[in-house]
Structure 1
Amino acid sequence: MNRRVLVPAAVLLSSLSFPLTITGASVALPDLTGDLNASPTAAQWVVTGYNLCFAAFLAFGGSLADLLGRRRLYAVGVSAFLLGSAWCAVAGDVGGLVAARLVAGVGAAIATATGQSSLASAFDGAARARVFGALGTVLGIGLAFGPTVSGFLVDLAGWRAVFWVPAVLAGLALLLCPALPPGRGSGQRVDWAGGALFTFGLGALIWVFVEAPVLGVAHPAVLAVVVAAVAGVAGFVRVERRAAAPMFDLALLGDRAFLGYALVAAAMMGLLVPLLVYLPSYFIDVVGVDPARAGLWMLVLTVPSVLLPGVGAALAKRSPRLLSTGAVLLASVGVVGLVGIGPDGAPWPALLLTGVGVGLTTGVVDGLALSSVPADRVGAAAGLFNTARLTAETVALAAAGSALTLLGGGQPDSGFTDALRVVVVVLGCAGVAAGLGAHALLRRVGR
């Protein structure tokens, strides 16, 4: 078979499995929590640990690909994801499940970074645009229909099935690895210090969010890790400014347009991902629907991400600022509207409004951000942009989970409803603030 078919097939298969494992874990969470007798904190690590490793190792993956070669490292990433997913499916306790999720997150990050690089090197011109358009479509489908597919899998075969399916997809992608271009290593130095400090600082911050509600904010361990997180972030900034070949080009943050679009993307994921993870659990535990129906209900929130990017792209041609900031404010209002959620169901107009806001910017704001920087800095900008978005998503997910644990005790009763209402109001207000900030940054970028 032609390599120009096998290369995108491999990358698209693996790319489909990554969003499925995020949404699958959220739908499976109620069943696996009961089956493994997991505490609310342990259950939170099941969903947060994957995102943490994905965000922390995404840039590392790109740097290592330059050193070791894209095809070799892509195979390593897919293999790690396959191993982690299969381990999730057979885990006998929550500790093993969390460890498996960390392995899968690292593998997904490495495979994402190297897979996209392989596509860029194998195609150019109009063909490259088409293949990356297909990649965006696959990611959108995985995100949109992941909860629904996972819900049916849980009903038909139990929660372990939601991890077997991504493992099978990864296995098929691994068989196609020999078709990828070798991408010989360039011998470029890897920013080990910057990567280690970034990973440490983000990990320490997420640990505080997850463990502080249980231990107490004044617990010595919590205070010590807060200090360590601040020190790690400060050290990371210092190292990146002095490094000859930094992992992140922090000077890009001085570009108002790039920073504005990055803020929009970060805000959207910060609004969407906590809902993707915790709404299915709410529908199952509090409303009392089965996982399959919970997945169907989530389509109101997720399908606009598949249907509306074309509309968003057309609006962006007229006014990128209006499209970007308007969509954030629209999604934020929708999230605040979820304050009306209750045991009888969900306020569907609020879910739809949130989905429309997210869908209008899906993929579109990425192009706007990368188009705002010089061509010779696009690679660095893509790495920083994606890491910023994933970091915001991970922090928002951890903060929302901690608030639900602290305010609602993680139990399927009225306390969970009240806690969820507080969370959506805070998330929505944060989204409004981000939208206003982006509006100020983008005020010179079109009308």
Structure 2
Amino acid sequence: MAVRTGRIVRNHPAVVLVAVLLSTLLLPLSLTGASVALPDIGRDLDAGLAGVQWVVNGYNATFASFMLAAGALADLLGRRRVFATGVAIFAGSGLLGAVAGDILLLDALRALAGVGAAAAATSASALLAGMFHGPARARAFSLFGTTIGVGLAFGPSIAGLLIDTLGWRAVFAAPAVAALVVLALVPLLPESRAPHSGRIDWPGTVSFTAALLLLIFGFVQGPEFGWHDPRIIVAFAAALALLVVFARVERRRADPMFDLALLASPRFLGICLAAATIVAVLVPLLVYLPSYLTTVVGLTPGTAGATLILLTAPTLALPMLTGVLTRLVPAALVIVVSVAVVAVGAAWATVLGPHVHVAALAGPLLTIGVGVGLSIGLLDQLAISSVAASRAATGAGMINTARLASETVAIAVVGAVLASTTAGRLADPGFTSGLRTVLWSMAGVALAAAVLVAVLVRRAAPTPVPATVGRH
């Protein structure tokens, strides 16, 4: 179906699909690639654990922080425009990061890349929702989920291969070059925006971004500075105060970027909780398991990356099968089961140790991957279908913010636990005991979340929540 913006008519659904899927592939690839490269980055740039943690945390923190603002900007200024801007920022920061010679510069560029990734990801979901409808939308989002699965499944092994052959800088250069290809397709994409214009929510953006960054700062620097250090105490206190300010700001706005009215829907809240819980288990393992396998078990980066395929391979195959599965059983049941399966896998993964064989890790890693794969794409589709079409990008921004904020905080918390148990060296025996403690905690949290999600999403599919009207 043709999409008209001004005098231009664009009718290229295949091009939209290619551009969105390619950009979507790059985002998990950038995360997992950086994770596998952390030991090499630390050695090459003479950086400590806190410094290299920011290579991942800086990217994730800004990715999560700017999701809400990016969704609102896409609805207001145009999804194609914000998408193009985000891809350009991602590409430029990646190319510069590939030649960075200082850990502080690399950390800053990774934070900038997260801003671009937020703009690209939120707009990409909205572009799909605007171009495809009915069964075609379900198929498009199944491909969307599969593409995320490809990035997760092969990201660690591709990164390991790049590191073994070209060095760690290639894990930033390769996604940046691919992003330039996406930019070449932008002129063929349709433009769309919310029918009613509004103002950009700068107070909400600033308060939320500052709160999340301060929270991550507290967790990352806590083991190094000391948990009773005034800087850490102030960081946590300020983060809490800013979150309160953010909530008050959003409740008073007529057109909030974080529409608290959506959270009044138990189903939407359950979807966000499921998304947040699943990534809080998966992503910290993607970040820290490669380091464990290389520094404690003794694998090469390439072999460690290949081992993680056990964790990520199900995310490649299952999203396409989920579309068939949801014709047989309710989508809500699939979501609950996926969270529960992740909990089982996390508990099972405590079998790891310095002399563990890959075969012993196959069962737990595959189990976690199955739980993740069942939910990818389906959660996004359900979240966007729960809001009015005019708020599609904002709805996508909200679930992605829940997902990214959860994984960012989880990475920081896991890093703090491991830094405390290993004296900042990520070496055995503290690494093993710390990681087992983390896995048991993940299992307990995920199991509790599965029960709560079951309560929240048990109702029939609701009427999409309309755009917010003025509140005082």
Q: What is the TM-score when the length of structure 2 is the normalising length?
A: 0.89
Q: 2: distance between equivalents of 1:216 and 1:16?
A: 38
Q: State whether structure 2 residue 124 is matched by structure 1 residue 109.
A: no
From 351, 357, 362, the counterpart of 1:348: 362
Listed as ranges, the matches of 1:394-433 within 5 Å are: 394-409=408-423, 410-433=425-448
Contact 1:89 1:161 in 2 (8 A): yes
Q: 1: distance between equivalents of 2:108 and 2:430?
A: 30
Residue matched to 2:395: 381
Q: State whether structure 2 residue 224 is matched by structure 1 residue 214.
A: yes
Residue deviations 1:74-94, cap 9 Å, x none? 222111101111122111011
Q: State whether structure 2 residue 141 is matched by structure 1 residue 141.
A: no
AA at the equivalent of 1:258:
F
Listed as ranges, the matches of 1:251-262 within 5 Å are: 251-262=261-272
Q: Secondary structure at the match of 2:261?
A: helix
Structure 1 alignment gaps of length 5 or more: none
Shift of 1:216: 1.4
From 272, 277, 280, the counterpart of 2:282: 272
Q: 2: distance between equivalents of 1:142 and 1:429?
A: 28
Change (3 A) 1:37 1:221: same
Shift of 1:211: 1.0
From 44, 58, 61, the counterpart of 2:53: 44
Residue deviations 1:280-327, cap 9 Å, x none? 111111111111111111111101111122444444442444322222
Q: What is the TM-score when the length of structure 1 is the normalising length?
A: 0.93
Structure 2 alignment gaps of length 5 or more: 1-9, 462-472
Residue matched to 2:339: 328
Q: State whether structure 2 residue 296 is matched by structure 1 residue 286.
A: yes
Q: 2: distance between equivalents of 1:396 and 1:92?
A: 28
Q: Secondary structure at the match of 1:176?
A: helix
Residue matched to 2:348: 337
Residue matched to 2:70: 61
Q: State whether structure 2 residue 377 is matched by structure 1 residue 368.
A: no
From 280, 291, 305, the counterpart of 2:315: 305
| Greater fraction of residues in helix | 1
Structure 1 window deviating more from structure 2 (385-394 vs 119-128): it is: 119-128
Structure 1 window deviating more from structure 2 (405-414 vs 219-228): it is: 405-414
Change (3 A) 1:7 1:323: closer
Residue deviations 1:178-208, cap 9 Å, x none? 2222447864211111111111111111111
Change (3 A) 1:438 1:125: closer
Residue matched to 1:191: 201
Q: State whether structure 2 residue 84 is matched by structure 1 residue 70.
A: no
Contact 2:207 2:242 in 1 (8 A): yes
Contact 1:66 1:188 in 2 (8 A): no
Q: 2: distance between equivalents of 1:131 and 1:318?
A: 20
Contact 1:80 1:106 in 2 (8 A): yes
Residue matched to 2:464: none
* Superposition RMSD in Å: 2.2
Percent identical across equivalent pairs?
Answer: 47
Change (3 A) 1:330 1:12: closer
Q: 2: distance between equivalents of 1:57 and 1:379?
A: 13
Change (3 A) 1:441 1:64: closer
Change (3 A) 1:153 1:325: same
Residue matched to 2:468: none
Contact 1:327 1:360 in 2 (8 A): yes
Residue matched to 2:467: none
Aligned length: 446
Residue deviations 1:118-144, cap 9 Å, x none? 344444455444443332222221111
